[in-house]
């Protein structure tokens, strides 16, 4: 009761952000950014200011036990203060899901940064009225935001697209999130219906910066150091979150911070280190060999692109059936 009384007295004014301007955030990606992958990134590329978890889906029937929440986010992320400080804990919910219970468990575990996934374009997620579907129903969206804000006293952010079918409600969504006390808004500059087609329209991020006072985090088609620089210069956004560009170049934050130039030799060297480090982690898991191989393939869609004969190497890697075949290809880089 004391926690709820304290929260009920809390203004919807935005809380101070735990991250500085021009932070680089490794984006949440379903099926990829679990604790084993995030630890690989934090260990090898600490230049990333934050890494985000893949989303925890709030249940519709029957609350999760605390151990389920902890297992999803990763026990070491809970036990290690530095890992916890650098982690954004993402969730996905719907108007009718057990949002209050799920948020309360996240809060009581001591996690200090909760992000709401309002950008997932998955047909299954949207069919159940979650993810980016909520951008089409502002009444349901407001209800969800109010529930989270009233039960989570720490940093609460939302990751959105510019709309569901179109951008008609874009500014209304921004103002709703600001009015209800969301502390920062990450914008993937496409609609849900656009999925990942075409080019992300950075002008939406610029418009958002000009429309609300809430800090804006830009996202979408950020692949290189030059892209990061141009994004900040053009949109004037607070920070950036990078997904596919981070999968292509996991050391991108290092390049940006250090001024190093990417090249074939560096890329080959980092690719080998990245895969070996990740595989060392997942190889310790009680998991079938085939699933371990699938995990390596899941992070491989973009990383070979800038190598000489990259398409052929990627094709061979994705067709590999054993770890020996995979690492033979990596050793040949």
Residue 300, classed as helix, strand or coil, is coil
Among residues 35, 69, 98, 120, the one annotated as catalytic is 120
State residue 13's pLDDT score.
Answer: 52
State residue 4's pLDDT score.
Answer: 46
State residue 147's pLDDT score.
Answer: 98
120 is catalytic: yes
Please tell me whether residues 199 and 326 are part of one structural domain.
no
48, 26 Cβ separation under 8 angstroms: yes
Handedness of CA 282, 287, 292, 298 (dihedral sign): negative
Residue 12 lies in a domain: no
State residue 16's pLDDT score.
Answer: 74
Please tell me whether residues 252 and 215 are part of one structural domain.
yes
Please tell me whether residues 202 and 280 are part of one structural domain.
no
Other Cβ atoms within 10 Å of 37 Cβ, number: 24
Please tell me whether residues 109 and 187 are part of one structural domain.
yes
Residue 10 lies in a domain: no
Please tell me whether residues 80 and 159 are part of one structural domain.
yes
Beta bridge partners of 155: 113
Residue 141 lies in a domain: yes
Handedness of CA 266, 85, 177, 229 (dihedral sign): negative
120 contact partners, CB below 8 Å, separation of at least 6: 30, 55, 92, 126, 130, 131, 132
φ/ψ of 201, rounded to 5, equals -95, 95
- Identify the CATH number of the domain in which residue 165 sits: 3.20.20.70
Please tell me whether residues 233 and 284 are part of one structural domain.
no
Task: Find the domain containing 238 and state its range.
Answer: 19-258
119, 109 Cβ separation under 8 angstroms: no
Residue 307 lies in a domain: yes
Q: Where are the alpha helices (DSSP H) in 45-193?
A: 66-73, 75-79, 81-85, 99-108, 123-127, 138-151, 170-179
Residue 294 lies in a domain: yes
How far lies 106's CA from each of 66, 72, 112, in Å? Answer: 8, 11, 9
Query: Each residue of 191-224: b (16+ CB within 10 Å) or e?
Result: bbebeeeeebbbebbbbbbeebebbbbbbbbbbb
Among 239, 244, 245, which residue's Cα sits nearest to residue 223?
Answer: 245
**Up-side HSE of residue 26: CA atoms within 13 Å toward CB?**
31
- Low-confidence residues of the chain, pLDDT below 70? 1-15
Angstrom distance (rounded) from CA 327 to CA 160:
38
Please tell me whether residues 103 and 212 are part of one structural domain.
yes
Structure tokens at 214: 């809430």
Residue 218 has what DSSP assignment? Answer: E
Residue 149 lies in a domain: yes
How far lies 293's CA from each of 30, 71, 202, 282, 303, in Å? Answer: 17, 22, 36, 10, 16
217, 184 Cβ separation under 8 angstroms: yes
Domain count, the chain: 2
DSSP 67-88: HHHHHHH-HHHHH-HHHHHTEE
Please tell me whether residues 185 and 315 are part of one structural domain.
no
Residue 94 lies in a domain: yes
Please tell me whether residues 220 and 302 are part of one structural domain.
no
Length of the chain: 333
Please tell me whether residues 179 and 317 are part of one structural domain.
no
Please tell me whether residues 127 and 168 are part of one structural domain.
yes
- The pLDDT tens digits for 169-191 are 999 999 999 999 999 999 999 99
């Amino acid at each position: 009761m004391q926690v709820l009384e304290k929260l009920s007295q809390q203004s919807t004014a935005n809380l101070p952000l735990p991250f500085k301007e021009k932070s680089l955030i490794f984006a949440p990606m379903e099926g990829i950014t679990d604790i084993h992958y995030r630890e690989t990134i934090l260990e090898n590329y600490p230049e990333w200011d934050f890494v985000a978890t893949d989303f925890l889906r709030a249940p519709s029937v029957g609350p999760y036990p605390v151990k389920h929440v902890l297992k999803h986010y990763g026990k070491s992320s809970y036990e290690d203060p530095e890992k916890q400080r650098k982690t954004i804990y993402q969730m996905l919910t719907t108007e009718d899901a057990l949002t209050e219970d799920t948020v309360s468990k996240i809060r009581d575990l001591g996690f200090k940064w909760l992000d709401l996934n309002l950008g997932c374009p998955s047909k299954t997620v949207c069919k159940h009225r979650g993810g980016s579907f909520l951008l089409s129903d502002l009444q349901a969206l407001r209800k969800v935001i109010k529930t989270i804000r009233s039960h989570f006293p720490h940093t609460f952010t939302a990751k959105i697209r510019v709309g569901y079918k179109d951008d008609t409600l874009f500014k209304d969504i921004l103002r709703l999130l600001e009015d209800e006390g969301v502390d920062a808004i990450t914008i993937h500059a496409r609609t849900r219906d656009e999925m990942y087609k075409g080019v992300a329209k950075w002008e939406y991020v610029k418009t958002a910066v000009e429309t609300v006072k809430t800090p804006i985090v830009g996202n979408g088609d950020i692949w290189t150091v030059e892209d990061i620089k141009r994004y900040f210069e053009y949109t004037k956004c607070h920070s950036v979150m990078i997904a596919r560009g981070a999968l292509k170049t996991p050391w991108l934050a290092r390049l940006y911070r250090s001024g190093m130039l990417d090249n074939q030799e560096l890329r080959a060297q980092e690719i080998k280190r990245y895969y070996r480090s990740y595989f060392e982690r997942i190889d310790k898991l009680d998991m079938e060999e085939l699933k371990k191989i699938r995990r390596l393939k899941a992070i491989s869609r973009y990383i070979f692109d800038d190598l000489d004969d990259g398409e052929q190497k990627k094709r061979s890697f994705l067709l590999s059936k054993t770890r020996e075949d995979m690492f033979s290809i990596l050793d040949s880089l």
